[in-house]
Amino acid sequence: MSHKNPPRRKQGKPSAPSSQLRIIGGEWRGRKLEFLAIEGLRPTPDRVRETLFNWIQTIVPGAQSLDLFSGSGALGLEALSRGAERTTFIEKDTAAARQLNNNLQRLKAQNGEVIQADVLEWLESRLQDQESQYDLIFMDPPFRKNLIAPCCELLEKRNLLRDNAYIYIETEAELIDPNVPAHWHEHRKKTAGQVTYRLYQRISESEI
C-alpha cells in the first residue's frame, strides 16, 4: 500500500530584517532595542532626539504623551524612559506594532499602550470631549503624504490636547509650512539633512 507524501505547507512571507535603536536618556539610557526594517520606517536619529528632548526636558516628567505614526516607537519610548506618565503609540503596520509591544514587555513598561490602527482613522473615531487629553504629541508621519494638516485638525476637533500642550512635528526639509492651527506657536525649529523638525506650543484660545 503506497502512501502519498503529505502536501508541503506554504511558507509565509519572510519576516522583515531588524535593526536597532538606542535609548539615549533616562531610566533606560543605553538600552538597545530591535525594530523591523520596514520600508518607510525611519526612527528619529539620535542627534535629533537628543536635541528634541533637551527642548522638552521640563515637560516630559509626568506627561501624558501620544506617539502618532510611531514606527519603532523611538520618541514615545524615549519619553517613557525620561519620566512620562504614559505613552499611547499609534502604528498602522501590524508587524511594527507587534515589535513595539515586545519592546515594551522587554522594558517591563506598564505605562505604554500600543494601538494598531491607521492614525487618521483612529483620530476620526475619537469621541469629542470624552477622551484622554495629552500634554505632548509626537508626529512623525511618512514624508510627502500631506498627513500633517488633517492630523492637527482632528487633534483639535476631538479636543485631545490639553491647554499649552506641546506638539513635535518631523517633516521633509523642503516642506516650508506644515499648515498647523493658528494658535500653535512655533517654539523651536531646526533642520538636519533631509529632515526639518519643529516644536509647537498650543496656546489656549482663551489666551489669544
Identify whether the C-beta of residue 154 lies closer than 8 Å to the C-beta of residue 141.
Answer: no
Give the H or E element holding residue 169: strand 161-172
Alpha-carbon distance of 194 to 208, in angstroms, equals 34
Q: Where are the domains of the chain?
A: 18-207
Q: Among 3-7, 79-83, 146-150, 157-161, whose mean pLDDT is lowest?
A: 3-7
Q: What is the mean pLDDT of the chain?
A: 89
pLDDT of residue 29 exceeding 80: yes
Of residues 132, 129, 119, the one with CA closest to residue 157: 129
pLDDT of residue 207 exceeding 70: no
Give pLDDT tens digits for 93-140. 999 999 999 999 999 999 999 999 999 999 999 998 889 999 999 999
pLDDT of residue 157 exceeding 50: yes
Alpha-carbon distance of 43 to 64, in angstroms, equals 21
pLDDT of residue 3 exceeding 80: no
Give pLDDT tens digits for 193-203. 889 999 999 99
User: Is 18-207 assigned to CATH 3.40.109.10?
Assistant: no
What's the pLDDT at 125?
A: 96
At residue 4 the predicted structure's pLDDT band, cuts being 50, 70 and 90, is: very low
Residue 128's SS3 state is coil
